Chains A and B, each alone.
Chain A
């Protein structure tokens, strides 16, 4: 039976809670209700209220308490109801959690799970991709799985990691994608990208839900004999520069793709990295396809225009291929 992205996260959480009695969950409506997206349905029945903690609407307290508990030897997995509300716990994440180890060598082994992303008509406050607010905060790790396999393997690694990890799970993938997962336990290492599709002509470097857009575009471009390689970053911080640069070297042309908005997006960092490292191997300008610099609009025609899709990627990729 194929496992959905959502079930994969759930399985990962479940296995880690069974494996390590120090792991506990904390968030709004996660116990009795099982979470807004039902990721933790059934957990309180199995693990009890001490390990599945419902909170008031207090993101700063959720993150702060996760830090405190993690400093004392537990492993907190906090849930933001929507990643957009992570702003309400921002100070605790970027100033408290992120800087403990560097300042006084104290580990904060906690995870903040944050359902992110658009395409669900959620409007400006239920659709954002806030990863870059954290990618520029040394001391944090930022993980963005695209597949069910990676979602499970990465949530397990995130829980075992001794530093604070932000886990952005894309809402649009929750029930849309599924695959058969290995029956035996496995983890996926943080900080390692993956080649989602091999190709020789051009690399698309992306992450999260856009991996599927890249693969769709790659499939169509293959019909025109353009062989696209798709790199799924999986982790944004720390960034797997090696895999990115190797792919760029191999294909000599790079298209950067993300659902997040343009300015200050991951593409900028990737472009700088590529320019510094493999400039001599490139046969064309580094191009990007991203959302524009606007809030995420609500109305379907606006949101459609806002989000990158396969057509937009194909058009840019064709141009780059011919360059």
Chain B
């Protein structure tokens, strides 16, 4: 297999075989890792990033394993650690870097920053900062899709902490009552800022909340992208068949502080060590080698290729200008 074959176009994997799924997933997981490493470990330290940085290191399998299942017309509501959902949809790494640097080339043209990216042309709805605020909005998007007699569905992402908000509960309940086509994807990364999940909720799993709303649930190893993909496929089929929402809880770990300025001293050291062994990219690569889906040389070539793409993207973003202050007053409303 050549490198070119490893780097697969952003099409759906709903009906693909395991080798093809693995290759697609690996590409996007590595791309997300590289883009976020560049932001958090290089550009941020160089003082080139504006504002805060929240990355999904160690959780890449969650957004990748699910977002590759989406049809272009399906609507995505990524949260702040779901970078791959944006990349898979066609947001370019250059746009992401420009966004983080406050340049006009960013998805929000400098009006907003970091992971607050949305583009209706790509059927991506931007988050706001308030956790879980997207959840009722996702129900509304699903309502519209059904109203318009479109057989498309909504992918709604959030963390464990977000499920404590009233908006989360209202959004889920409404979607369930209406049997709306929403797939909920929870990245349970064990922490919400400094708060461990046991201080966030008294049930063992986020998924335990699903039955209270009459929503079927599944708990999956969130660091095994093929397992996420398998479970995701069931969730998507359920929602697309008009059977209502489905809640997928992906158990994973936030392999970083809450944000770039957080040393996360509150996380016991043994957790870092245990979860480091479960790195989703390392695991997928091992599987691919074992299965003969990729050779070492091909994997090396993939990483080199991604690094090159990311270098180019950073250079592009750094050439993108800052917004003209004259645009400050634009776009509060539709122009008239």
Contact = CB atoms under 8 A, between A and B. Distances in A.
Interface of A: 28-29, 32-33, 36, 54, 56-61, 81-82, 84-85, 87-88, 120-126, 292-295, 297-302, 304-306
Given A121-B50, A295-B332, A298-B110, A33 B103 contact: no
A294 B161 CA distance: 30
10 contacts: A29-B195, A54-B199, A57-B200, A60-B166, A85-B130, A88-B130, A121-B51, A125-B129, A126-B129, A301-B110
A123 B194 contact: no
4 shortest interchain CB distances as A-B pairs: A299-B110, A125-B129, A299-B102, A56-B164
Interface string B95-121: 000000011000010111110100000
Contacts of B324: 301
A58 B332 contact: no
A54 B196 CA distance: 11
Contacts of B272: none
A36 B193 contact: yes
Contacts of A36: 193
A299 B323 contact: yes
A57 B108 contact: no
B329 interface: yes
Contact of A297 (B111, B114, B193): B111
A221 B119 CA distance: 47
A56 B199 contact: yes
B193 A28 contact: yes
Interface in B149-203: 161-162, 164-167, 192-195, 199-201
B131 interface: yes
A64 to B, nearest CB: 10
Contacts of B161: 56-57
Contacts of B166: 58, 60, 88
A58 B325 contact: no
B192 A57 contact: yes
Given A56-B200, A301-B322, A294 B329 contact: yes
Interface size class of B (residues with CB under 8 A): 35 or more
A32 B161 CA distance: 17
Contacts of A56: 161, 164, 192, 195, 199-201
Given A121-B50, A297-B110, 15 more contacts: A33-B193, A56-B164, A57-B164, A57-B195, A121-B51, A121-B113, A122-B51, A123-B51, A125-B130, A126-B129, A294-B332, A297-B111, A299-B50, A299-B111, A302-B111
B19 interface: no
A62 B208 CA distance: 23
A297 B161 CA distance: 27
A225 to B, nearest CB: 32
Given A28-B195, A58-B166, A123-B116, A298 B130 contact: no
Interface string B112-142: 1110100000000000111110000000000
Given A28-B195, A57-B131, A84-B129, A298 B325 contact: no
Interface string B198-217: 01110000000000000000
Contacts of A298: 50-51, 102, 108, 110-113
B109 to A, nearest CB: 8
A130 to B, nearest CB: 13
A228 B26 CA distance: 64
A309 to B, nearest CB: 13
A80 to B, nearest CB: 11
Contact of A84 (B130, B165, B327, B329): B130
Nearest to A60: B166
Interface in B13-72: 50-52
Contacts of B129: 82, 84-85, 123, 125-126
Nearest to B102: A299
B165 A88 contact: yes
Contacts of A124: 111-112, 116, 128
A57 B169 CA distance: 13
A85 B131 CA distance: 9
B328 interface: yes
A164 to B, nearest CB: 20
A188 B4 CA distance: 70
Contacts of B131: 57
Contacts of B266: 32-33
A89 to B, nearest CB: 10
Contacts of A125: 116, 128-130
B193 A87 contact: no
Best-buried of A28, A61, A82 by chain B (most CB within 10 Å): A28
Given A28-B195, A299-B50, A58 B165 contact: yes
B122 to A, nearest CB: 20
